[in-house]
A and B are shown apart, each in its own frame.
Chain A
Amino acid sequence: MAVTQLAAPPAPPTPATKKSPTAAPLALVLRKVGTLLITLFFASLIVFFSRFVLPGDPARFLLRGRSPKPEALAEITKQFGLDKPPIEQYFTWIGGILHGDWGRSLTYRQSVSDVLLNRLPVTLELVALAAVFITGLGLIAGMLASLNKGGWDRFILITVTAAGAIPPFVAAIALTALFAVQLGWFPSFGSGDEGPSRLWHLTLPALALGVTFIAFMARVTRSSMNEQLTREHVEVATSRGLTRSSVVFRHVLRNALGPILTVSGVLIAGLLVSSAIVEQTFGLTGIGQLLVQSIDRLDFAVVQAIVMIIVTAFVLANTVVDLIQPLIDPRIAAGTESR
């Protein structure tokens, strides 16, 4: 997963949108939510109308790879409303989504929402666990590197650079070969039952999923903390006799959290996409694997639904992070601090 996704450069202020630093928080929240909804609306347009990019009979497109028997054609036409104008089809689709009807899966011959909801928990848990590893291990590694100049710093930097270049699928194979088959410490596949078994089963997949981001998180933490460490207020605090750890946690880390947070929020949504690959390798039935499978099996209704979900999660996470940022760092709200 491209790590640049995580740090979209902020929009430069255009004259029309210059706001006073003391804009009412409520107005801010409403504005953000408004942007969220508009983005989602346009995103849904893209997802829905992407199908129309290809010329030709839409029914045949949707039934690709399956024999187009008259009954199948009729059912597809009815389900997607193919005999109606595209705009109406869009509204039927959107309306359906808001009501929980996401269409019918051609592969499973069940409603898409059933198929999806069965698999959502595993993916959410996987992503959550990966996020824990990323923030935990990443923060620690970054802090260690930043606070221990010299040997440790170089070592961590090198390790982390190398680790960051290991694609999730390579990490997955390597981790399984070592920890599951060779050492037998972890299971090699499956998601286990709810509870501690689930946690145990998801450890290796979460690590494989997170390895690239752990590296990234470590570096962001490190450079962010480095930047803070050179700031005046840290020198002041140190010279006032505060203990190192106190300085680190209350002054450096807190201010460094800004960029770290920006990255974390979007991280979680971005992980959803990479989870497809990890889920496939570890035999986890999550929505990532379902996405790959549905693309392979040309089950377009499912593909549409999953893409929509991921985009929504992505945009939502972005918005939440935007809203929380000012709380963590009031200077951002005041517009005096760049992210």
Chain B
Amino acid sequence: MAPTRLSRRRLGAVVAGCSAIGLMLSGCGTTAGGTVAAKFTLSNSTPKPNKEIDQFSWALYAEPFSLDYAYAFDYPDNQVLANMCESLFRWNPDLTSAPGLATKFEHPDDLTWVYTIRQGVHFHDGSLLTAADVVASLKRHVDEKVGSFWASSFERVADIQKTGDYEVTITTSVPDYALNSALVGAPGVVESAKTLAKDGADYGNATAGVNCTGPFEFDHWDAGEGITLKRFDDYWDPSLRAKAKQMTFKILPDANARVNALQTGEIDGSWQVPSNALDILKANTDAGNVYFGNDTSVQSLVTSNLNGVFGDVRVRKALMMAINREALLQAAEQGYGTTTDALTTKNVWVGAQPSTVNSAFESLDKQDYNLDEARRLIKEAGATGKKFVYATASLTAAFDITSRAVASAAREIGLAPEIQTMSNDKYTTLFSDPEARKGVDLFETSWYLSSAEPLEMYSVLRTGDFSNYGGWSNAEYDQLINSAVGTEDDAERNRLTAQAAKIASQDVVWSPLYETVTALWLGKRITGVTPSINYMYYPWAATIGGR
């Protein structure tokens, strides 16, 4: 299925119509998908490198918590790991999948999946990959002692067995058609069973590193400074052989320092370019180029307490209506994104019929910017003057701006927000620890999908799911999602998911604000990588060479 095409809209007319005051009025296009001009065009590729290089450097905005794939759950961790460790399937830049460490799979019956493992693949220490390694790696996700952050992908898995030297069979307890899509990412990573046993609790930390199969191998990790990878010459896929002998990730939490380093050429490239620097960087064509690509991230507000003021759907709707999402997108991301009413991006609906995609997006409930209506709803719900706690962290400038803007909007319609700023680490625990969520009514998230499967998002909102942070429960929704998971036909599965999406949007379970776009900076020394969110799981660094 073709990826999202975003053509440049007519900028001029829109700018004329949207003077500074004009943006406040809804006449400037605040509908889903946005009719406002896009500041960026997506690229499918960057110029091919014309030579190999000795080394290049890459900026990271935070230090990975661990290189252990079971805990690699965030941008910094995954973008590093993707170059060293591979999964059973590969996630292409256009978000379709291709064979990876598994060459094919068969599905003899509803509950059985048989994977044929690629032969002749070596781990970085030279040993040969066999089915035993696959089983050991996958089993860690269901092992309670490991506490894998990806355990929910394996919820319906009953057993993982080695059924041949190069064959692994997964048996599920109920039909599960979402599992395969997950295997392009961290849930499908294969590590050497011997290494896992030997390193134990130290696996993936700064001294032990990893011993996987990817085009780069772990060289060393200077805690707090950076991580260095070197080319693995025995990599099994000649088409993805690394074009650089070595690469170093430099850890620089300070956004200004990062942008300075990119401009002076001290660091060659970066994902997650701070949006307030994009205009300047785009203009600095002497130093390098900015590219935009596929992203599956949606910035949303998560209602984590349905027993407080947000228990009433009118209040949730009202808050959405009080936020001028277009203006927010401008302020928070300098316009590098698209406002949305959906919790997923169009590009993950691979395999859906156009009409399905339509109903999953166009016909969703829209909460357009309307302060008067919002105030009326609040009064009607009797929520005037009621307090709520909004938790945030300074993860990015966008988070800061969003939290202030949302709080201000809430005050404007008569609510009494209290902003609780947490440390980045404490904020992360909101997503995994119910204790941490106590006393918090609302928090924001940049929720990205790790597969081209909308169910990855919507299954999260089922009753009792690990990430159903507000404890929302809707029987019809559950039923739709559960049938979808068990539906083999792609089109039909997506159709059911779209119906569930509609229910979620009617109930404003989470409040989508805008989609972001993957921004890539390539300094003038390097080129070759395709800008796409698949950098989280695909060995993107191997495609980088010199220009």
Contacts and interface: CB of A to CB of B under 8 A. Distances in A.
Direct chain A–B contact by Cβ atoms under 8 Å: yes
Interface of A: 64-69, 71, 107-110, 114-115, 118-119, 173, 176, 180-181, 184, 187-190, 280-283, 285, 289-290, 293, 296-298
B67 to A, nearest CB: 11
B106 interface: no
B206 A67 contact: no
A187 to B, nearest CB: 6
B223 A190 contact: no
B205 interface: yes
A106 to B, nearest CB: 10
Interface stretch (B26-34, B156-164, B251-259): B251-259
Given A71-B145, A108-B205, A189-B257, A118 B429 contact: no
B206 A108 contact: yes
A281 B257 CA distance: 7
B330 interface: no
B150 to A, nearest CB: 16
A289 B252 CA distance: 12
Nearest to A64: B426
A67 B432 contact: yes
Contact of B263 (A68, A119, A181, A190): A181
B266 A188 contact: yes
Contacts of A65: 423, 425-426, 429, 436
A64 B261 CA distance: 34
B385 interface: no
29 contacts: A65-B425, A65-B426, A67-B435, A108-B206, A108-B223, A109-B66, A109-B202, A109-B206, A110-B207, A110-B223, A114-B223, A115-B223, A118-B225, A176-B256, A176-B257, A176-B260, A180-B260, A180-B264, A188-B257, A188-B266, A189-B266, A190-B266, A280-B254, A282-B254, A283-B254, A285-B222, A285-B225, A289-B224, A293-B224
Contacts of B250: 190
Given A188-B261, A189-B261, A190-B266, A66 B429 contact: yes
Given A109-B205, A190-B266, A290-B224, A296 B425 contact: yes
A110 B254 contact: no
Given A187-B261, A187-B264, 20 more contacts: A66-B425, A67-B432, A107-B425, A108-B205, A108-B223, A109-B206, A110-B205, A110-B223, A118-B225, A180-B260, A181-B263, A184-B264, A188-B266, A189-B258, A189-B261, A190-B266, A282-B257, A296-B423, A296-B425, A298-B423
A118 B223 contact: yes
Contacts of A188: 257, 260-261, 264, 266
Given A108-B205, A283-B254, A118 B260 contact: no
Contact of A67 (B207, B252, B258, B433): B433
B435 to A, nearest CB: 8
A189 B202 CA distance: 31
Closest 9 CB pairs of A and B: A188-B260, A189-B257, A285-B224, A65-B426, A283-B257, A67-B433, A283-B252, A109-B205, A285-B225
B424 interface: yes
Contact of B147 (A69, A114, A298): A69
Given A109-B202, A118-B224, A181 B254 contact: no
B158 to A, nearest CB: 25
A114 B253 CA distance: 21
Contacts of A293: 224
Interface string B194-206: 0000000110011
A30 to B, nearest CB: 41
Interface in B400-435: 423-426, 429, 432-433, 435
B523 to A, nearest CB: 14
Contacts of A68: 435
A262 to B, nearest CB: 35
B224 A190 contact: no
A71 B425 CA distance: 20
A123 to B, nearest CB: 12
A184 B205 CA distance: 36
Nearest to B422: A65
Nearest to B432: A67
Nearest to B65: A107
A65 B266 CA distance: 35
Nearest to B427: A65
Contacts of B423: 65, 296-298
Nearest to A105: B223
Given A109-B202, A118-B224, A298 B261 contact: no
A68 B147 CA distance: 12
A69 B264 CA distance: 45
B425 A298 contact: yes
Contacts of A296: 423-425
Nearest to B424: A296
Given A69-B147, A119-B224, A296-B423, A187 B429 contact: no
B140 to A, nearest CB: 15
Q: Pick from B222, B253, B425 the residue with the most CB of A within 10 Å.
A: B425
A283 B423 CA distance: 19
B68 to A, nearest CB: 10
Contacts of A176: 256-257, 260
B264 A181 contact: yes
Contacts of A187: 261, 264, 266
Contacts of A67: 429, 432-433, 435-436
A189 B260 contact: yes
A5 B40 CA distance: 53
B391 to A, nearest CB: 13
Contacts of A189: 252, 254, 257-258, 260-261, 266
A166 B138 CA distance: 56
A281 B258 CA distance: 10
A280 B257 CA distance: 10
